[in-house]
Amino acid sequence: MCELIPLKLADGTSINVSEYKISKLKRYLEIFPLIKSVDKVILFGSALESRCREDSDIDFLFFYNDRKQFHHDMSYVLPNYFPESCYDDKLRFPTGSTSMSGAFADAQTKGVVIYKTPMKP
């Protein structure tokens, strides 16, 4: 069992995450704003629970606004800043998707929004 500790998000709120994943999640939160094709990121799975282990991956649900750019960003931009990101699970859906099956439903119901693109003026 791991300890859950607070992680402050960009909007000023905090969520409890695994002590094993907090430093990695902080790095992701610095990188997400650089990925212009991402509208929203939901964190779900064991990183939010005390069952997380040191070797657990991090589960994300990404909502993107441009499929081609998103795939480029995930293949080149993210690994450039964060090479070990390839070991984490990344579900991908276009912004506005509403499927409620499988891991998508799990992420939507049990996950937490950890990044959302700021509204443009």
Domain ranges of the chain: 4-116
| Spatial distance between the Cα atoms of 23 and 121, rounded to a whole number of angstroms | 32
Q: Are strands 112-116 and 38-44 parallel, antiparallel or unpaired?
A: antiparallel
The position carrying tokens 């390839």 is: 86
Q: In terms of DSSP H, where are the helices of the chain? A: 22-31, 67-72, 78-81, 102-110
What's the number of CA atoms in the CB half-sphere (13 Å) around residue 10? Answer: 16
Burial of 70 (0-12, 13-18, 19+ CB in 10 A): buried
| Spatial distance between the Cα atoms of 121 and 104, rounded to a whole number of angstroms | 30
Count of CB atoms within 10 A of residue 85's CB? 18
Residue 59 backbone phi and psi in degrees, to 5: -100, 125
Do the beta carbons of residue 115 and residue 41 sit within 8 Å? yes
Do the beta carbons of residue 114 and residue 15 sit within 8 Å? yes
pTM of the model: 0.84
Task: Please determine, looking at this structure, whether the domain spanning 4-116 carries the CATH number 1.10.760.10.
Answer: no
User: In tens digits, what is the pLDDT along the chain, a chain of 121 residues?
Assistant: 789 999 999 999 999 999 999 998 999 999 889 888 999 999 998 999 988 888 888 888 889 999 999 888 888 877 787 776 655 566 666 677 766 667 777 888 899 999 999 875 5
